[in-house]
Amino acid sequence: MARVMVAMSGGVDSSVAALLLLQQGHEVAGVTLKLHDGREAGEKSTRTCCSLDDIDDAKRVAGTLGIAHYVFNYEDAFVEQVIDPFVRTYCLGQTPNPCILCNRFIKFDKLLVQARALGFDYVATGHYAGIRQDEDGRRILTKPKDLAKDQTYFLYAMTQEQLGGTLFPLHALIKGEARRLAAAHGLITARKRDSQDICFIPDGDHGRFIDAMTDGAGGDFVDAEGNRLGTHRGIWHYTIGQRRGLGLGGLTEPLYVVDIRHEENQVVLGPPSALFSEALQADHLNWIRPLTQGQSMRVNAKIRAAHTPAPARVTLLPDETAEVVFDEAVRAVSPGQAVVFYDGDDVAGGGTITDRTKIQHGRTQAL
């Protein structure tokens, strides 16, 4: 049996992950990461993770299970690797995903390194995902049994070394089963609500959070031809596809955010038809199933967490970026978000969206 350090967020899923590993005979210890105090936005939330209250809940669960519990202070690393890039990306007119950054640089990098330095064989989390080995011995990230809770989109950046040092005990469980197990073993997290908001923004208002961290100013709403339509509050308040919260009255038809021009400090509005893209470009790629330059692969591409993956062809270009051409145009491709490539239930890889493009005369062109 192995020595396993379980990242315990104070929620039901990581609590049950620790329980299952104990039942399998592993030597288990729990750790909660102190990333922030959970009250930066001036409100307490029950829908975030990693707050001081969550640390207390994780400690109580560890006590019930009879395992050691530690707290690692990663606040400085979290600011550098997650919060600062989050703010910078929004200020560039793009839409970041902080959970992906946290997984890439904190949970499966910094924590895994520290766990191994302390003599642990694996790090485990309560993510709904699976890991298997293919016929060549490569570790493959794969979807869990509970597809409604599938979190592989947030984990696509894991390397072979990280996949080899990680356990996902909930891969074969349905969420309801996890709650029933927690209740049956007297864990206080059994009925705790799932975290949904950005953990360091308890009130969910990312625009107000960035307002307090930047000297940026508002600018113009414009149409595709550059005609002024009104004044926006700062480009970080908006994302591609947004309709609500624009603060514009007297419109004769619904308008959506269809582009953000950060250099001009402009938010471009247009009709819903302007939201559709036939292709996209991506960089900062991670390949779980390797692709060589010039090679293409048929995939189902997922462009945001709530998106149903769409059939596409991905090609690795000579500059180590990827071109993704969809079978049918997709709505609201947002630079800054991740695009993740699926081959059936397996994650083939993914990257960060840089541009959305159209097909003209057989070639992709930026919109």
- Which letter, b or e, does each residue of 215-247 get, where b requires 16 or more Cβ atoms within 10 Å of its Cβ? ebeebbbbeeeeeebbebbbbbbbbbbbeeebe
Strand partners, 3: 27
Contact of 76 with 126, CB cutoff 8 Å? no
**Burial class of residue 319, CB neighbours in 10 A (0-12, 13-18, 19+):** exposed
Cα 304 to Cα 333: distance, rounded to the nearest angstrom: 8
Identify the helix (H) or strand (E) that includes residue 17: helix 12-23
Cα 33 to Cα 8: distance, rounded to the nearest angstrom: 8
Question: Which residue type is seen at 136?
Answer: D
Cα 8 to Cα 187: distance, rounded to the nearest angstrom: 13
Catalytic center residues: 102, 199
Cα 157 to Cα 349: distance, rounded to the nearest angstrom: 7
